[in-house]
């Protein structure tokens, strides 16, 4: 009877109790561990959720490497362009001069029907002439592929006026093609005329000028045209046009064309060829890509690593481990992800380990391989 007189303990509302449990139990580092596990299991939606939760609780711990990771995961998590863009913008705060990141962000804006924001992202001054050209070309591409060929042509004409003679010629050629796509043949002919010297023009009539424009632009209308550009053109920009046209779809014998392009001296053509061999090839083609793992150009090395990540099997880890780059943090992360995918095994939980930790991780991988 005495027990019945004891005052019952108060109970918190269910929602409050749950909030308190979350507040006191969840360790932000758990989110990272769960994200890595989800990433390894290819559960990108769960991985993205954990990364976003970590970013909310520990924003000061989120560096460029973290946001790069979140971009990759968001890209694989389904049609969530906004999540990709949010992570890209965070990443950009650490590397504002990263031209290719700016181009990726502009593409994300475009996919969200925010063309002007995308163009603003590309209107960024860069001291390096080649990188500035890359941004300018991306502006032209973005406008063109959003359905505004005349606006893109006008931009080409403006850029030509700001360029040296050789580059101006290419912009005038591109403008001519775009004006033709817009249905303005008069402006198309005027633009290609600017690409020619007075001596050239004196030897041509109007019909010949139109034929020359079609030839010089190197604008493929089909796969056969594109293959001719790749195999025969001396200008790397035109070979790049060819291989990019080819990669729009699949056709019989396409793999052999990309294998041929592995001998191209142009970095952009070679990078595209490696990525397409990874998409269209099999583990048998890895022998052709092995030399690029130690390529002096960083973009080529990254493309080769990702090819091994796509096509490699556990036994290929013996090729990867001896040449892991511990000095370059981004490359190290790519190597590490490649090894984890091939072996279905991971070592270390640190998102961005310091130099000593990276060295230790490589040593542990070496020990792991010895035991296999």
Listed residues 266, 297, 328: the one ending a domain: 297
Q: What is the pLDDT along the chain (372 residues), one digit of tens a residue?
A: 344 444 444 454 555 445 544 444 568 889 999 999 999 999 999 999 999 999 999 999 999 999 999 999 999 998 889 999 999 999 999 999 999 999 999 999 999 999 999 999 999 988 888 899 999 999 999 999 999 999 999 999 999 999 888 888 889 989 988 988 888 877 887 887 787 655 554 454 555 555 445 445 667 777 887 887 888 777 888 889 889 989 988 999 999 999 999 999 999 999 999 999 999 999 889 999 999 999 999 999 999 999 999 999 888 888 888 888 888 888 888 888 888 888 988 887 677 788 888 888 888 988 888 887
Provide the pLDDT for residue 186.
Answer: 76
State whether 362 and 331 are in the same domain: yes
**Quick check: is 353 in a domain?**
yes
**Quick check: is 355 in a domain?**
yes
**Quick check: is 124 in a domain?**
no
State whether 332 and 287 are in the same domain: no
Q: CA 139 to CA 133: how far, in whole Å?
A: 10
Query: Please, which residues have CB within 8 angstroms of residue 246's CB and are 6 or more apart in sequence?
Result: 223, 226, 227, 230, 254, 257, 258
**Quick check: is 354 in a domain?**
yes
Contact 149, 179 (CB under 8 A): yes
State whether 288 and 318 are in the same domain: no
**Quick check: is 234 in a domain?**
yes
**Quick check: is 290 in a domain?**
yes
Query: Which contacts (CB < 8 Å, 24+ apart) does range 100-108 have?
Result: 100/134, 102/135, 102/138, 103/134, 103/135, 103/138, 104/71, 106/138, 106/142, 107/142, 108/81, 108/84
Total-model pTM: 0.52
Contact 266, 274 (CB under 8 A): no
Listed residues 297, 327, 349: the one ending a domain: 297
Provide the pLDDT for residue 18.
Answer: 52
Q: Which two tokens stand for residue 7?
A: 């005052």
State whether 226 and 292 are in the same domain: yes
Q: Provide φ and ψ at 203, rounded to 5°.
A: -100, 5
State whether 292 and 230 are in the same domain: yes
Q: How far is CA 301 from CA 267, 296, 328, in A?
A: 11, 7, 12
State whether 232 and 287 are in the same domain: yes
The model's pLDDT over 264-309, given as tens digits with 9 standing for 90+, comes to 999 999 999 999 999 999 988 999 999 999 999 999 999 999 999 9
State whether 274 and 337 are in the same domain: no
Nearest by Cα to 178 from 159, 155, 209, 205? 155
**Quick check: is 278 in a domain?**
yes
Provide the pLDDT for residue 369.
Answer: 85
State whether 280 and 223 are in the same domain: yes
Query: Domain range spanning residue 226?
Result: 218-297
**Quick check: is 280 in a domain?**
yes
Provide the pLDDT for residue 26.
Answer: 64
DSSP 251-279: -TTHHHHHHHHTT-S-HHHHHHHHHHHHH
Q: How far is C-alpha 146 from the chain's CA centre?
A: 19
Q: What is the CA radius of gyration of the chain?
A: 27
Domain count, the chain: 2
């Amino acid at each position: 009877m005495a027990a019945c007189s004891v005052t019952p303990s108060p109970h918190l509302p269910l929602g409050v109790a749950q909030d308190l449990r979350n507040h006191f139990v969840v360790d932000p580092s758990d989110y990272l561990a769960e994200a890595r596990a989800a990433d390894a299991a290819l559960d990108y939606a769960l991985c993205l959720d954990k990364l976003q939760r970590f970013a909310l609780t520990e924003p000061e711990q989120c560096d460029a490497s973290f946001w790069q990771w979140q971009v990759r995961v968001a890209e694989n998590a389904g049609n969530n362009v906004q999540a990709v863009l949010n992570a890209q913008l965070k990443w950009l705060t650490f590397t504002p001069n990263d031209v290719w990141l700016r181009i990726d962000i502009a593409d994300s804006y475009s996919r969200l029907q925010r063309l002007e924001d995308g163009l603003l992202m590309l209107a960024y001054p860069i001291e390096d002439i080649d990188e500035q050209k890359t941004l300018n070309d991306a502006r032209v591409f973005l406008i063109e592929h959003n359905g505004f060929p005349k606006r893109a042509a006008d931009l080409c004409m403006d850029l030509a006026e700001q360029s040296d003679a050789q580059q101006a010629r290419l912009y005038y050629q591109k403008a001519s093609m775009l004006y033709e796509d817009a249905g303005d043949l008069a402006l198309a002919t005027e633009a290609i005329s600017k690409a020619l010297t007075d001596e050239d023009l004196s030897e041509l009539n109007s019909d010949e000028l139109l034929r020359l424009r079609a030839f010089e632009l190197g604008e493929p209308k089909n796969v056969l045209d594109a293959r001719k550009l790749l195999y025969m053109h001396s200008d790397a920009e035109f070979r790049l046009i060819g291989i990019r046209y080819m990669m729009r779809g699949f056709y019989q014998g396409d793999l052999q064309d990309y294998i041929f392009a592995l001998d191209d001296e142009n970095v952009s053509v070679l990078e595209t060829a490696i990525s397409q061999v990874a998409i269209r090839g099999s583990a048998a083609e890895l022998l052709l890509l092995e030399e690029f793992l130690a390529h002096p150009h960083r973009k080529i090395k990254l493309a080769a690593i990702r090819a091994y990540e796509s096509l490699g099997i556990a036994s290929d880890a013996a090729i990867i481990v001896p040449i892991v780059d511990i000095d370059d943090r981004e490359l190290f992360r790519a190597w590490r992800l490649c090894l984890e995918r091939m072996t279905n095994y991971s070592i270390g939980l640190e998102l961005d380990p310091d130099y000593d930790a990276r060295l230790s991780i490589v040593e542990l991988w070496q020990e792991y391989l010895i035991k296999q």
